[in-house]
Amino acid sequence: MVLDRVTVVLHNVFSVYRVLEMARLVYGLGFKTFIVTKASGAAAHEGVPQASRLAIKTNRNFFYLADLNDFIELFKPDKAYLFVPKTYARDAFNFDEVVELLRDGKNIALVFGGGEPGLSRRDMEMGEAVYIVHIEDDIGAVPLASIVLYELLLRSRD
């Protein structure tokens, strides 16, 4: 299945709730791999272990890494898309292009900022900073990931 080549990354997160909601979303839509990078406070102490437990229960993959560059170095995605508000992105996310890359056997990373302000300028240099057309403001990581993952799910079934 092409969606097995999608890795969802939540970077720079402080909230237990955000980690767990993202894990439920990723696994519930049938994606296999969820990674948290740079978790702090309660997200690191409670969210990461609970997300790991959920992954085991649902037979999915979960990893926790210290920083985003560790993910890029270890997993070596063919393409990494970092979702940011429109004012910080150069290009709109092209769903059809991503589905074609997946069908061609490429590994894709979808990176969402887990806290405020989200992804830093340094983070954005590790991939392609993109936005979703018609979303003008920052709606948060989980709602944004919901839109992106669901749309990929629909388009990959065509």
pLDDT for res 118: 73
Q: Which domains does the chain have, with CATH numbers?
A: 2-156 (3.40.1280.10)
- The whole-number mean pLDDT for each consecutive block of 10 residues of the chain, a chain of 158 residues, reads 92 95 97 96 94 97 96 97 89 96 97 82 86 87 96 89
**Taking Cα atoms as reference points, which of 148, 147, 108 lies closest to residue 128?**
108
Residue type for position 20: L
Contact 34, 55 (CB under 8 A): yes
pLDDT for res 158: 65
Contact 67, 38 (CB under 8 A): yes
Contact 120, 67 (CB under 8 A): no
Classify burial at 31, counting beta carbons within 10 Å of its beta carbon; exposed 0-12, middle 13-18, buried 19 or more: buried
Q: Which residues of 140-149 are buried (b: 16+ CB within 10 A; e: fewer)?
A: bbbebbbebb
